Amino acid sequence: MSVDFQSWTNTHIAHFETVLAGLLPPAEVAPQRLHQAMRYAVLQGGKRVRPLLTFAAAELVGAELPRAQYAAASVELIHAYSLVHDDMPCMDDDVLRRGKPTCHVQYDEATALLVGDSLQTLAFQLLAEHRLSDDASRQLAMIKLLAAASGSRGMAGGQAIDLASVGKSLSVPELEFMHIHKTGALIRAAILLGAHCGNATDAQLSRLNHFGKCVGLAFQVVDDVLDAEADTATLGKTAGKDADHDKPTYVTLLGVQAARGMARQLHQDALESLAEFGGAARRLRELADFIVLRKY
Amino acid sequence: MSVDFQSWTNTHIAHFETVLAGLLPPAEVAPQRLHQAMRYAVLQGGKRVRPLLTFAAAELVGAELPRAQYAAASVELIHAYSLVHDDMPCMDDDVLRRGKPTCHVQYDEATALLVGDSLQTLAFQLLAEHRLSDDASRQLAMIKLLAAASGSRGMAGGQAIDLASVGKSLSVPELEFMHIHKTGALIRAAILLGAHCGNATDAQLSRLNHFGKCVGLAFQVVDDVLDAEADTATLGKTAGKDADHDKPTYVTLLGVQAARGMARQLHQDALESLAEFGGAARRLRELADFIVLRKY
């Protein structure tokens, strides 16, 4: 456990990329173009923040790594599907993602639509077909958890609220409501699924849920600050697009300084919710630091 | 059991519509527009063929009706999501569905995209959060079954093959491969999930799987014949669109007469696979008759 954070991250991500590549349908299996596009959408790198949170929560409770990898993959597939659909012309109309053409630009819109659909399906398939817990009932609860976090009262609902908010002035609580759904729900699910892999108790899950809520919101606040400040090259996606699209953000509502202050406060709250875990929560603490202090 | 087919169908559909309405998020819960659109996409009627197949298979093995209703709802939500996405401009670009404006016409494209996404999520949520079997492991197998039937190697994959086939000349086996995925997989899943609700044996599942394969293909062949012959008013959707879109169909490949003959043969095969079930398979037989002999 004396491995530093960067090594821990690199090792997990490298291994996870191999796992993901093996879980996605092979590009040579029919329908080839769809399978190629699914792989294009998922295997383009990215920060893999959600899988790392899953691994850190799994480590905290001593879960077996292979189980955590399936959980992490399912969350990452949901995240990847949402990016593919959100980038489409009828949504955010983005042409660049992680420095490369978005899926509908590289392929076509119909393929991108099916890629998103199929990645979502695969996420649930992974949670159902691999053993993630000795208790099948707990595994059903994990599937329910991911579904609730992703659906119309979770991530997809947050995206709907986001779309409806374009050009409107939201209050800070309304903006928070949107982000708790749009990005927060899946981040929380990533953490809780990792903990479930190691038979976490309700008390542990409750603390981790609070941690996830703080970290998820902090993630978004920092995103808004970065979007307002960074340039496109550093960000790997089109910078300044929130302002261009007339979308309310923490920066437009609070200003950059207050938004930074809010991120710091959330960071503190997140760390406090880990206090009782002691040293076992080291990786979660480091990830919270990374999320708040990152520059891209 | 002396209830005639029409009464059996009417009773089950009426009850199922109430169940579906209760399982969908209320229209007044945020995000309201998304939830309204989800209800619009699902509660517009339709033949409910897949749910009826689920109920008939459930009856065959003596499953409890409430369990079968969750299974039927999950399949119908997957079907509804696929229709919403398939109708979008980047796919089939259809403006009419069951005699009413399609979801993206009634609402907008972004909402339709999220409606399809959220309906898919809800389908898996239903299978995970309600008790469908006394054996949680069997329930995980049911989720896997639905996912495999819906994903890139099932329904969504069939749609990808369909898109790729526009303007091309397919062979009959290639067309069959497409339809076994695009419509057949979900029809088979509807039947098998119903049977799983009553602890069906592997031997029973195997026979029902064959039945489902024949009926699923027959369904598509009859669809092609109806599309080539019927007018828009009878069909409740835009007639003749397959020919307009230069899509290969059983009618364009075989001609109407041979396509009708193929449907008859599949009908026979389907009925034969039910022989060992005796009288318990009555509703499945009646549904096979309905699917092949329907005029809309």
Can you give chain A as a three-state secondary structure string? CCCCHHHHHHHHHHHHHHHHHHHCCCCCCCCHHHHHHHHHHHCCCCCCHHHHHHHHHHHHCCCCHHHHHHHHHHHHHHHHHHHHHHCCCCCCCCCEECCEECHHHHCCHHHHHHHHHHHHHHHHHHHHHCCCCCCHHHHHHHHHHHHHHHCCCCHHHHHHHHHHHCCCCCCHHHHHHHHHHHHHHHHHHHHHHHHHCCCCCHHHHHHHHHHHHHHHHHHHHHHHHHHHHCCHHHHCCCCCHHHHCCCCCHHHHHCHHHHHHHHHHHHHHHHHCCHHHHHHHHHHHHHHHHHHHCCC
Chain A residue with Cα closest to B178: A31
Range of lowest pLDDT (A137-141, A265-269, A292-296): A292-296
Please, what is the end-to-end C-alpha distance for chain A in angstroms?
27
> What pLDDT shows up at residue A56?
98
Q: pLDDT, tens digit, for every residue of B144-181? A: 999 999 999 999 999 999 999 888 888 888 899 999 99
Q: pLDDT, tens digit, for every residue of B59-114? A: 999 999 999 999 999 999 999 999 999 999 999 999 999 889 999 999 999 999 99
Q: Which residue has the higher pLDDT, A20 or A170?
A: A20
Query: Of A119, A118, A190, A182, whose CA–CA distance to A156 is shortest?
Result: A182
Give the single-character DSSP code of B241. Answer: H
ipTM for the predicted complex comes to 0.94
Chain A residue with Cα closest to B182: A31
CB nearest to B128's CB, from A33, A81, A140: A140
Residue B124 has pLDDT above 90, yes or no: yes
Average pLDDT of the segment spanning A10-17: 96
- CB distance A34–B157 less than 8 Å? yes
* pTM for this prediction: 0.94
Query: Distance, in angstroms, between A216 CA and closest chain B CA?
Result: 20
Average pLDDT of the segment spanning A149-172: 92
Query: Distance, in angstroms, between A170 CA and closest chain B CA?
Result: 15
Alpha helices in chain B (DSSP H): 5-23, 32-42, 49-60, 65-86, 103-106, 109-129, 136-150, 155-165, 172-179, 185-196, 202-229, 232-235, 241-244, 250-254, 256-272, 282-293
Q: Give yes or no for a contact between B176 and B37, defined as CB atoms under 8 angstroms apart.
A: no
User: pLDDT exceeding 90 applies to what percent of chain A?
Assistant: 83
SS3 assignment, position B103: helix
For the domain A5-293, what is the CATH code? Answer: 1.10.600.10
The structure tokens listed for B225 are: 């014949």
> What pLDDT shows up at residue B60?
97
> What pLDDT shows up at residue B217?
95
List chain B residues with CB under 8 Å of A90.
108-110, 113
Range of lowest pLDDT (A48-52, A148-152, A221-225): A221-225
User: pLDDT exceeding 70 applies to what percent of chain B?
Assistant: 95
Range of lowest pLDDT (A109-113, B47-51, B248-252): B248-252
Range of lowest pLDDT (A37-46, A69-78, A235-244, A284-293): A235-244
Average pLDDT of the segment spanning B203-229: 94
Chain B residue with Cα closest to A115: B152
Chain A residue with Cα closest to B38: A152
- CB distance A120–B118 less than 8 Å? no
> What pLDDT shows up at residue B219?
93
CA triplet A263, A264, A267: central angle to 5 degrees? 85
Contacts 24+ apart (CB under 8 A), A15-20: A15/A69, A16/A48, A16/A51, A16/A55, A16/A69, A16/A72, A16/A73, A17/A43, A19/A69, A19/A73, A20/A73, A20/A76
B/e letters for B255-288, b = 16+ CB within 10 Å, e = fewer, are: eeeebbebbeebbebbbebbeebeeebbbbbbbb
Task: Report the mean per-residue pLDDT for chain A.
Answer: 93
List chain B residues with CB under 8 Å of A127.
143
- CB distance B141–A118 less than 8 Å? no
Q: pLDDT, tens digit, for every residue of A220-258? A: 999 999 988 875 555 555 555 655 567 788 998 999 999
Query: Distance, in angstroms, between B204 CA and closest chain A CA?
Result: 22
List chain A residues with CB under 8 Å of B160.
31, 33-34, 111, 114
Q: Sorting pLDDT into bands at 50, 70 and 90, what band is A44?
A: confident
For the domain B5-291, what is the CATH code? Answer: 1.10.600.10
Q: pLDDT, tens digit, for every residue of A252-292? A: 899 999 999 999 999 999 999 999 999 999 999 999 999 99
Residue B243 has pLDDT above 60, yes or no: no
Which residue(s) pair with A100 in the sheet? A97
> What pLDDT shows up at residue B237?
57
Displacement of CA A68 from its chain's centroid (Å): 15
Where exactly are the structural domains of chain B?
5-291
> What pLDDT shows up at residue A30?
93
What is d(CA B75, CA B51) in angstroms, rounded to the nearest whole number? 7
Average pLDDT of the segment spanning A62-77: 97
The structure tokens listed for B174 are: 């290639």
